[in-house]
Structure 1
Amino acid sequence: MDLKEVDALGPEVGAHWYYASKARAMRRFLGTSSGTRVLDVGAGSGFFSKHLLAHAGAQEAWCVDISYEAESEAREAGKVIRYLRAVEPVDADLVLLMDVLEHVDDDAGLLREYAAKVPAGGRFLVTVPAFQCLWSAHDTFLGHKRRYTLAQLERTVRSAGLEIEHSAYYFGLVLPIAAALRLAQRSHQQGQAPKSQMRAHHPLVNRILKSLCSMELPLLRFNRVGGLTIFCVARKP
């Protein structure tokens, strides 16, 4: 999770429809083999690692992010979680890159770098924002380089030497809402400084959006049409 969005949402970030739904989709997409030792690249607050430690089978996690001022160690659900600025090769069986690749120039190179740090058989869960046509001031504010189509992400993952297990779009039911809002905002934000579009909603709105996203979960792996986010699970051969 980007630390800029933590600042925008505050301590209730886990209740926000977007992050609550994304965490549930992460677990659904990974299936029963969600991993016991997690390497979380570009982890920010460590939200997704913490979720796996608290709600899945993960037993320890390494969160890596160059934005950390110092390295530290904490506990989540009684399990060790380490916050590091860099990591040496580690015996992780799950590598998370949750909205990371869009921040770097060489996305395949970053994947190759971390594939070299984990044993063969390690799984990778990658998420990225979808569709360049949805580019907005929010992307600029977060320092994104690009948005992806499903085919583009799959090519990137394969070019890093990973084998794709499955990939799909998510947040498909809220895609029309988001697209309409972003088109409307473009006409009002000309010349303004980029800013985050992430904000807390009225509880009723938050609940409705969560419900829409929950409706997608049973068919999550089969959505190759469209959504706000792309999920991809791959494995190091």
Structure 2
Amino acid sequence: MTFDSNRLSIIVPVFNERGTIRTLLARVVLAPIPMQDREIIVVDDGSDDGTGSLLESIAADLSSALRPEFEHMGQFPAPSLLKTVSVRVLQHPRNLGKSAAIRTALEHVTGAVTLIQDADLEYDPNDYMGLLSPITQGQADVVYGSRFQGSTRRVLYYWHSVGNRLLSTLSNLITNVNLTDVETGYKAFRSEIITALNLQADGFGFEVEVTAKLARLNLRMYEVPISYSGRSYVDGKKVRWWHGIIAVGQILRYGLLPGRALKEGNEQHEALEDLAGVTSLTNHMYQVFKPMLGESILEVGSGTGNMTAFLLRHGDVVATDINEAALERLKARFGDRGNLDVHTWNLEDPYPGEQTFDTIVCVNVLEHVEDHRAALQNMRKHLKPGGRLILLVPQGMWLYGPFDKKIGHFRRYTKTELEALLVEEGFDTRRTFYFNTLGVPGWWVNARLLKRDHLSAGMLRIYERISPPLLALERRISPPTGLSLIADSVRTDEEMEANAPVQSTRRKRGKNSRTRSGQGS
């Protein structure tokens, strides 16, 4: 789905808020936003106090229905502003909880950014600009508004604040992020992300579930301070002490057994993000590559920049990937680096430039390319004579399983096959060796024994915890096998060809079959 970059989608879950909903919607209409349009999607979650009928009248004639509120506030929206506001009301026949209301609204989102707005007047829409700024400036995928970062707030229940901090701490321990306010009702998301999440929680479980699944995807999460005017129980506050007990259970459930983070159809992206998040493996890879790197580097399959961060220490880097969204995230991370350039590039096609490089780093990409000979030639054309190709590919068809197929692997390589291929395509292989021996047992069990088409999040967490010393040992020995192969090759010192880069003539598959793989796949 294509989202409108000029529109903000504001989701308002409502249950029995007849006394506050008009005031809230008036504030939402008047709040300054960086977008041109705003769509307000209100989900009445089975209210029995007349909220539903009131919402229908507001949606039918926004200006007239909210006029008393505008008069009370002393602010009247210009007709031009009202033309940019749409209100859509969705009804649940019975109370299903805030999480269900948000899921219902997400099916109707059309703006490029989605913001969650509670209807109880605790959160001030005048904070929208600060909440949205990290996203609109390209810095963040998700922004949480924190009630505990020093902005104006109403003084209320001490034990509520203690409970919130304890829940945030527990969530952080499990998800390995450092949020100060997991339970905040103010969250903003890039719509392509929040609409792709596989959200299942009921009741008030949205906050902890969305946090666990966002953290698993290694997204850029920011916090900004917001004002907070909490309600007392006399004012109608609905959260009770037992909701905290339920939240603990949900944190444990979604943190330790999160299930699929993304909806069906996004499994490949989710799998690659999971693998990219194994930071111990990326660091090990860099330690192996470091002696081979030159001053000018072309990185093929950069993704969101996990390896790029290391390569930038060595010289000028051109980062490439077929996935434009991944490159946007990479640019947001490293856009201020003077030694980085970024290009979209499908390895089956000629490189979009004439530059040659000391080193080309190609990690877990060649196996995704149907015509791997054309891909090697396209890389060779942009190596200086004697320049180095550092190639990492998956090893052994005996390890090929449903997960390989799912993430677009055409093949896995043997050492002999890879060396012969490189020689035939004009490379002199200095050394070919096995990499990530530790990953072999888990991959074999997952792919061949259990025949799974996904990696267990728990298995990856175990790997991340036990792998650093074992990977360090691997760098000191020559293991007899590995999950991957690394080939350190040089372009042979013959005169550079005059013909243009090779254009693949093989039939091309859908773009998912050519998407880069994450590190360690």
- Give the TM-score taking structure 2 as reference length: 0.38
SS of structure 2 residue aligned to 1:46: coil
Rate the CA distance shift 1:118–1:232 in 2: closer, same or farther, 3 A: same
Query: In terms of Rg, which structure is larger?
Result: 2
Q: How does 1:196-207 map to 2 (within 5 A)?
A: 196-197=454-455, 199=457, 205-207=463-465
| Partner secondary structure for residue 122 of structure 1 | strand
- Pick from 273, 289, 294 the counterpart of residue 7 of structure 1: 273
The SS at the match of 2:410 is: coil
| Residues in 1 aligned to 2:341 and 2:269: alpha-carbon distance in whole angstroms | 17
Q: CA deviation at 1:215?
A: 1.0
1:66 Cα deviation from its structure 2 partner: 2.1
Give the superposition deviation at 1:200. 6.1
User: Is the counterpart of residue 135 in structure 1 residue 394 in structure 2?
Assistant: no
Shift in Å at residue 124 of structure 1? 0.4
> Residue 231 of structure 1 corresponds to which residue in structure 2?
486
1:148 match: 413
Could you give the per-residue CA deviations for residues 54-104 of structure 1, whole angstroms, max 9, x where no partner exists? Answer: 4xxx22211122221597756379443222114312131110110111011
Gaps (5+ residues) in structure 1? none
The code of the aligned residue for 1:164 comes to T
Give CA-to-partner distance per residue, 1:119-157, whole Å, 9 cap, x none: 212100000001111112221121010001111111111
The AA in structure 2 aligned to 1:105 is: E
The alpha-carbon distance between structure 1 residues 207 and 235, as it changes in their structure 2 partners (threshold 3 A), is same
- 8 A contact 2:278–2:460 mirrored in 1: no
Q: CA deviation at 1:4?
A: 4.7
Corresponding pairs, count: 216
Give 1:48's aligned residue: 307
Aligned partners of 1:200 and 1:82: how far apart in 2?
A: 36
Structure 2 counterpart of 1:7, one-letter code: E
Deviation at 1:43, TM superposition (A): 2.2
* 2:317 aligned partner, one-letter code: A
Residue 117 (str. 1) matches residue 382 (str. 2): yes
Q: Pick from 422, 430, 433: which aligns with 1:165?
A: 430
Is residue 24 from structure 1 mapped to residue 290 from structure 2 by the alignment? no
Matched, 1:68 2:361: no
Report the Cα distance in structure 2 between the residues aligned to 1:204 and 1:145, rounded to whole angstroms. Answer: 28
**Structure-2 change in CA distance of 1:65 and 1:204 (3 Å):** closer
Aligned partner of 1:64: which letter?
T
Conserved in 2, the CA contact under 8 Å of 1:44 and 1:65?
yes
User: Partners in 2 of 1:154 and 1:4 — Cα distance?
Assistant: 32
Between 117-126 and 65-74, report the one with greater CA deviation: 65-74
Q: Is the 8 A contact 2:303 2:323 kept in 1?
A: yes
Q: For residue 396 of structure 2, what is the amino acid of its counterpart?
A: F
Report the Cα distance in structure 2 between the residues aligned to 1:209 and 1:131, rounded to whole angstroms. 21
Gaps of 5+ in 2: 1-267, 346-351, 493-521
**Amino acid across the alignment from 1:34:** L
Aligned-partner SS, 1:82: strand
Q: Does 1:94 align with 2:359?
A: yes
Letter in 2 for 1:22: M
Q: Distance in 2 between matches of 1:204 and 1:143?
A: 25
Structure 1 residue 201 displacement after superposition = 5.5
Instruction: Decide whether aligned partners of structure 1 residues 89 and 168 sit closer, same or farther in structure 2, where only a CA change above 3 A counts.
Output: same
1:125 is paired with a residue of what secondary structure?
strand
Tell me the distance in 2 between the aligned counterparts of 1:172 and 1:96.
21
1:215 and 2:473 matched: yes
- The residue type paired with residue 139 of structure 1 is D
Structure-2 separation of matches of 1:207 and 1:136: 25
Q: Tell me whether 210-219 or 42-51 shows the greater mean CA deviation.
A: 42-51
Matched residue type, 1:44: G
SS at the partner of 1:143? coil
Residue 218 and residue 40 in structure 1: after superposition, are their counterparts in 2 closer, same or farther (change >3 A)?
A: same
Task: Label 1:62 to 1:7 Cα distance change in 2 as closer, same or farther (>3 A).
Answer: same
- What percent of counterpart residues are identical? 21
> Equivalent residue for 1:103?
368
CA contact (8 A) 1:129 1:228 kept: yes
**Normalised by the size of structure 1, how large is the TM-score?**
0.78
Cα pair distance change 1:66/1:22, threshold 3 Å? same
Does the 8 Å CA contact 1:120/1:236 hold for their aligned counterparts?
A: yes
Preserved CA contact (<8 Å) 1:41 1:95: yes
CA RMSD after TM alignment: 2.8
